[in-house]
Structure 1
Amino acid sequence: MAISRRTITILVAAGVVVVVGIAIAAVALNARSPEPPGPGTRVLASAQSKATDAASRAAAGSPEYDAAQYLSEQPTAIWLTPEGDPTDVVGERIADLAEEARAQSARLALVVYGLPERDCGGQSAGGLDDDGYAAWTGAIGDALRAAADTSPLVMLEPDSLALAPECGNVSERVSQLASAVDAIASDSTWIYVDGGHSDWLPAGEMAGLIEQIDRASDDGRGIRGFATNVSNFQPTDDEVAYAHDVAARLDGLHAVIDTSRNGAGSNGEWCNPPGRLVGEPGGTIGDDVVDTNLWIKPPGESDGECNGGPAAGRWWPEAAIGLTREVIVGD
């Protein structure tokens, strides 16, 4: 059967449309799949931080002001808790933070910290029940998808996995965290679950816990990897070695390391240990396993009512002064 010129023209035009459509889809996919963090990554230094608030209330030129002002200028993750950012307002909070991130050409870095029986009733006790947690993380996921252009980084529930064997709730934690991953995951959000630290669980045990989250998640996009040293003080080199040891037991997962307060290493204490210092600025390291380092625990915020500190998460001027004593000398 002969094919007319008109038919050939239509077929060619249709082919062009298909090719263009594929190209557009590829561009859209790339737009939804940003680069993972690496050396040089800059995250938001938010004006909504407790350091910024403390600087605004301190007397100019005082040690309290100098420490708070310095820390307010450092790119640092923002912690979301249901106590401070409940379900009905957390989306608006994330939208505001995303606007700040865009203005600074920075990425949004968040810590999600509100799961049931948080911290096993320890210094940071609290959190939501299962239904409340599902609603809260769902609202967070919706807001992060709306802020996809900021390529968000999410550190999901620090200490939750490493504490689970001690608390006797591994199966519950795996289920809760896997559901949270499914609620938060998107093509533009990079999620890191709890990876403990180098002086806590052996690498094999930690990897086994992380692997359960990766297997249990139903979404298919899953997690980027794990975060180590969050709110702790272990030396960076030790954490890099530990991250490699853990990752070697997992399939393609990566790590980020908290260096916010490890400038003087650890003295073996975890709760407001004296004599500590801020560590390397975020975005200064990275390799084929460790995506980069970040300031995840905000320096100057208390670990809890220990060593003279206020309640967990409260601003503590004395700690801020001590942590920054070597970086603002002469200011």
Structure 2
Amino acid sequence: MKPRIPRPLVPVALAALVTGLAVPGPAHAQDRPGTGHTLPAGTRFYVDPDSDAAKQAVRYLLKHDFAGATAMAELASWPQAHWFTDGTPAEAESRARSLVRRAARTGTVPVIVAYNVPLRDCSQYSSGGAQSDAEYREWISALARGVGKEKAVIVLEPDALANLPSDCSPTSDPTGVLTAGRLADLRHGIDAFEQQPNTVVYLDAGNSHWQSVGNAAERLLDAGVERAQGFSLNVSNFFATGPSDRYGTWVSDCLWFATKGPEHARGHTDWCASQYYSPAAPNDGQPGNAVDADDPGTWHWTDDWFRQNVGTPPIDQLTHFVVDTGRNGKGAWTPPPGKYSGDPQVWCNPPGRGIGDRPTAATGTPLVDAYLWIKTIGQSDGQCNRNIPGGTVDPEYGTVDPAAGAWWPEQAMTLVRNANPPLTFAPWSRPRG
């Protein structure tokens, strides 16, 4: 006998998933992205009907866990990025072509993450990538060919700039050859996608608690950001939207300052004040330095520096960016004081986090082209052990975490329950009638 499904759930979970209502229909004419390398505010992003969340909703439904099914159906109704992390060039090209065509049939735009650069993640939890620069360039060129003339948003190589080979260890790149290769790979990737007529490319720049403003700007310039639409921030991380927007605006201002600003500033990204700008900052009458990188409320000294030295650059000369808001609704995790003696890996499956701002290209922030869910919500960051020597169990969960990229239903449910603002079905997926 087939399980009897309560009538109230049918229009919510079953209709949204089984009948495909989680997939947006064709966008209205005024919502269609225009041609060229821009991202209009009316852009609608592609929703995958076969996402991890959609499959989990069906599993919960068949187990009569109606609350879980509804939560996962709500998650499945929103667009998330598609990651390309491996495969042969032919496989990457074929997968990309299939994805962009599916999106085109619904009048939406897919978000594609290219994540296959050599020495990815310094060979840590998300290690992998192409075996050589030549292999990578062949792969990324094939991925771009697969996108072809269809519309797509490209997030290029998360962490690849913020974590260069020279950053991995003091001996990881003694001659600088590997880092030079990485930068050339990224320039090649930008050019491969920008040759396509309807792609919008964002080169990843890390997050607001990683590289200083000047370092981020310098690395972006070295990798050719001026040939792309802009850069991406907070991918797979948890820092709140407001500080990410503020940091990204500083990076954009710094890029302008060092390339189009005053003559004396040309080439001097290193002069830009940053989120760590405390040595030269007045202490505002408080003990010690007033600037705290963990407290954006103290970042007004950096704002002051940019007002005094950069002013108000022409908006059309500033570099735009996107922010990953998929897991930042509760902000970053701060472990209890004294709980861990070493690095607690606050970036790795932190407990109690929540989904953040919904995906949209209408952000209301001048330089922010979109808030996107780039890291797949509910996929593990890796087998975290909070740097406990010899440990394999994550003490925050009392278990061994799933491998990086593995679907973790319990984490997905936590992120949904803690969503800020609370999660609902996407407007276009709600059953009519």
Q: Pick from 284, 306, 314: which aligns with 2:406? A: 314
Q: 1:312, CA displacement in angstroms?
A: 0.7
Looking at structure 2, the residues matched to 328 and 242 of structure 1 have their Cα atoms a distance apart, in angstroms, of 26
**2:147 is matched with which residue: 141, 144, 160?**
144
Pick the aligned partner of 2:136 from 133, 137, 162.
Answer: 133
Which letter maps to 2:182?
R
Separation in 1, partners of 2:68, 2:88:
30
Hey, what does 1:296 align to over in structure 2? Answer: 374
How big is the shift at 1:202? 0.7
2:236 is aligned to 231
1:188 corresponds to which of 198, 206, 231: 198
In the TM superposition, what is the alpha-carbon distance from 1:68 to its structure 2 partner?
3.0
Report the equivalent of 2:260: none
Farther-moved stretch of structure 1 (283-292 vs 224-233): 283-292
Which of residues 80, 99, 103 in structure 2 aligns to 1:76?
80
The separation in 2 between residues aligned to 1:188 and 1:171, in whole angstroms, is: 29
The aligned residue for residue 283 of structure 2 is: none
8 Å contact kept, 2:190–2:224: no
**Cα distance, 1:187–1:103 mapped onto 2, change above 3 Å:** closer
CA distance in 2, matches of 1:161, 1:51: 30
1:2-25 C-alpha deviation (Å, 9 max, x unpaired): xxxxxxxxxxxxxxxxxxxxxxxx
Q: Is this contact kept in 2: 1:38–1:292, CA < 8 A? A: no
Partner residue, 1:265: 331
CA apart distance, 1:127 = 0.7
Alignment partner of 2:322 out of 243, 246, 256 = 256
Secondary structure at the counterpart of residue 110 of structure 1: strand
Inter-partner Cα distance in structure 2 for 1:257 and 1:328: 18
Q: Higher mean Cα deviation, 280-289 or 191-200?
A: 280-289
Q: Secondary structure at the match of 1:190?
A: strand
Distance 1:76 1:140 in 2: 19
Query: Equivalents in 2 of 1:304, 1:93: separation in Å?
Result: 25
Moved more, 86-95 or 163-172: 163-172
Percent sequence identity is 34
In the TM superposition, what is the alpha-carbon distance from 1:72 to its structure 2 partner?
1.7
Deviations 1:60-106 (A, max 9, x none): 44255334322221111111111xx4322222212221232123321
CA drift of 1:38 comes to 4.5
Matched, 1:278 2:362: no
- What residue identity is the alignment partner of 1:75? P
Q: Which amino acid in structure 2 is aligned with residue 270 of structure 1?
A: W
Higher helix proportion, which one? Answer: 1
Match of 1:55 in 2: 57
| CA-to-aligned-CA distance 1:275-299 (integer Å, 9 cap, x gap) | 0000111115143321121111111
Q: TM-score, normalised by structure 1?
A: 0.81
Corresponding position of 1:17: none
Question: How much is the aligned-residue C-alpha RMSD, in angstroms?
Answer: 2.2
Matched-pair contact (CA < 8 Å) for 1:259–1:280? yes
Q: Does 2:185 align with 1:176? A: yes
Change (3 A) 1:96 1:170: same
Asked if structure 2 preserves the Cα contact closer than 8 Å seen for 1:195 and 1:228, the reply is yes
Contact 1:154 1:192 in 2 (8 A): yes
Which amino acid in structure 2 is aligned with residue 96 of structure 1? S
Question: Structure 2 counterpart of 1:126, which letter?
Answer: G
Q: Write the distance in 1 (CA, Å) between the matches of 2:40 and 2:414.
A: 29
> For residues 76 and 146 of structure 2, what CA distance do their matches in structure 1 show?
24
Q: Is the 8 A contact 2:61 2:69 kept in 1?
A: yes
Amino acid corresponding to residue 245 of structure 1 in structure 2? W
SS, match of residue 132 in structure 1: helix
Provide the rounded CA distance (Å) in 2 between the counterparts of 1:95 and 1:38: 23
* 1:46 alignment partner in structure 2: 48
The answer on 1:100 being equivalent to 2:105 is no
| TM-aligned CA deviation for residue 259 of structure 1 | 0.5
Q: SS of the counterpart of 1:324?
A: helix
> Counterparts of 1:96 and 1:72 in 2: how far apart (Å)?
20
- Distance between the aligned counterparts of 1:39 and 1:120, measured in 2? 36
* Aligned-residue offset at 1:173: 1.7
Q: How many residues align?
A: 289
Judge conservation of contact 1:244–1:289 (CA < 8 Å) in 2.
yes
Cα separation, 2, equivalents of 1:86 and 1:48: 23
- TM-score, structure 2 length as denominator? 0.63
Instruction: Give the alignment partner of residue 198 of structure 1, picking from 208, 217, 231.
Output: 208
**Matched residue, 2:36:** 34
**What does the per-residue CA deviation read over 1:162-194, in whole Å, with 9 as the maximum and x for residues that have no partner?**
011522553232111112222222231111111
Q: Which whole-Å CA distance do the structure 1 matches of 2:142 and 2:50 have between them?
A: 20
- Return 5+ residue gaps in structure 2 as ranges: 1-32, 257-317, 335-345, 385-393, 395-399, 425-433
> In the TM superposition, what is the alpha-carbon distance from 1:328 to its structure 2 partner?
5.8
Whether the aligned pair in 2 keeps the contact of 1:41 and 1:282 (CA below 8 Å) is no
For residue 243 of structure 1, give the secondary structure of its aligned residue in structure 2: helix
Structure-1 separation of matches of 2:202 and 2:160: 12
Going from structure 1 to structure 2, the CA distance change for 1:89 and 1:48 (only over 3 Å counts) comes to: farther
CA distance in 1, matches of 2:237, 2:325: 9
Matched AA of 2:53: A
Moved more, 309-318 or 52-61: 52-61
